[in-house]
Amino acid sequence: MSGITAAAPATAEIADIFTDAGAAGFLHARKIGAAGATDAAEVTHGADEPVVLASVFKILVLTAYVRAVAAGELDPTGRTTVTARYRIGGVGTAGFADDVEASWRDLALNMMTMSDNAATDVLYHRLGADAVNRVIDDLGLDGTRLIGCCEDLFASVVADLGGTPDSDLDELLGSATPEQILALDAVHPVRTSHSTPRDVTTLLNALWTDTAAPADACRQARDIMAQQIWPHRLTSGFPNGVRIAAKTGTLPTWRNEAGVVTYPDGRQYAVAVFTRDLSRRPTAPGRRLDRPGGVRRGRAPARTLTPSPVARTPSL
């Protein structure tokens, strides 16, 4: 992509932030709608390296969903049942004790706002893998590949840990050694659902410029993404007053978020940040990346993308 890359000092500062946190970091940030070399500000750090998507893949499912609604292939008010097959534990319908009936649009909302894995898989199976993969192909996301939905990812974890389809995933993970966790296919980009930070911001740019789907469908996707209940990751790197519409993703050693940051004056930037813990511990590097010092220093991308002064207040 042509454009203005981050100045060397800012790029070095970004690298230092990741190094200090003990993490490998992969970042791409770009101005929404930028087309020409004079308008294509971007910040890159490992932007074309493969990364584990984790739940960030749900943005692709959301795009396929709004496309299906716009095409009249799916009635958003139609209802379906989330059965025991999908209730593997966790937030939303995935953690319910009983079957629950919900509309397709409410499942899409749960998928994006609270990362409900059951809602995601029910929706993914209704849309079909071909519809989701078509989003990847149509937008030219050449560095992106999905192995399936959440249950496919969890099945790979169970298999890697020597379990069977009847095994309890939480029990398997609880008894696994750090070495076993670090060897999982699910934490290695080329062996699981993966993308690149640049591909992810390309997808976001398409949703925000009405080129990923019809305009009303893209607006619906943006409205849903703006309701995420855990916006703290991206928010921590920007000044007060910005609005965030994003999706998180978390797996052992990986902590990600991708979304669009809107400044009070209307400027918008697509930002995708993926981090992998390098400490050889099977945990995400969140505490070190989110601590106050990291938050303040993490504004390097924001400063690079912001040509005019922006008032800042200390983060809480």
- Pick the closest to residue 207 from 264, 272, 121 (CA basis): 272
| Mean pLDDT confidence for 54-70 | 98
Q: Is the pLDDT of residue 125 over 90?
A: yes
Contact assessment for residue 246 and residue 29, using Cβ atoms and an 8 Å cutoff = no
Determine the pLDDT at residue 234. Answer: 85
Determine the pLDDT at residue 302. Answer: 53
Pairing of strands 194-195, 243-251: unpaired
Please state the domain extents for the chain. Answer: 8-305
| Pairwise CA distance, residues 38 & 269, whole Å | 16
In DSSP notation, 200-213 reads HHHHHHHHHTT-SS
Say what the pTM is.
0.88
Determine the pLDDT at residue 51. Answer: 98
- Pick the closest to residue 259 from 224, 284, 288, 311 (CA basis): 224
pLDDT tens digit sequence for 233-244: 888 888 889 999
- Pick the closest to residue 250 from 60, 108, 58 (CA basis): 58
- Which phi and psi (to 5°) does residue 303 adopt? -65, -40
- Bridge partners, 269 (sequence order): 31, 261
Q: What is the CA radius of gyration of the chain?
A: 19
pLDDT tens digit sequence for 1-23: 333 345 555 678 888 889 888 99
Contact assessment for residue 301 and residue 45, using Cβ atoms and an 8 Å cutoff = no
Q: Is the pLDDT of residue 80 over 60?
A: yes
pLDDT tens digit sequence for 24-54: 999 999 999 987 544 457 899 999 999 999 9
pLDDT tens digit sequence for 189-232: 999 999 999 999 999 999 999 999 999 999 999 999 999 998 77
In DSSP notation, 151-198 reads HHHHHHHHHHTT--TTS-HHHHHHH--HHHHHT-GGGSGGGSSEE-HH
Q: Mean pLDDT score of the chain, rounded to an integer?
A: 86
Contact assessment for residue 42 and residue 99, using Cβ atoms and an 8 Å cutoff = no
Among the residue ranges 97-101, 174-178, 188-192, 279-283, the one predicted with the least confidence is: 279-283
Homologous superfamily assigned to 8-305: DD-peptidase/beta-lactamase superfamily (3.40.710.10)
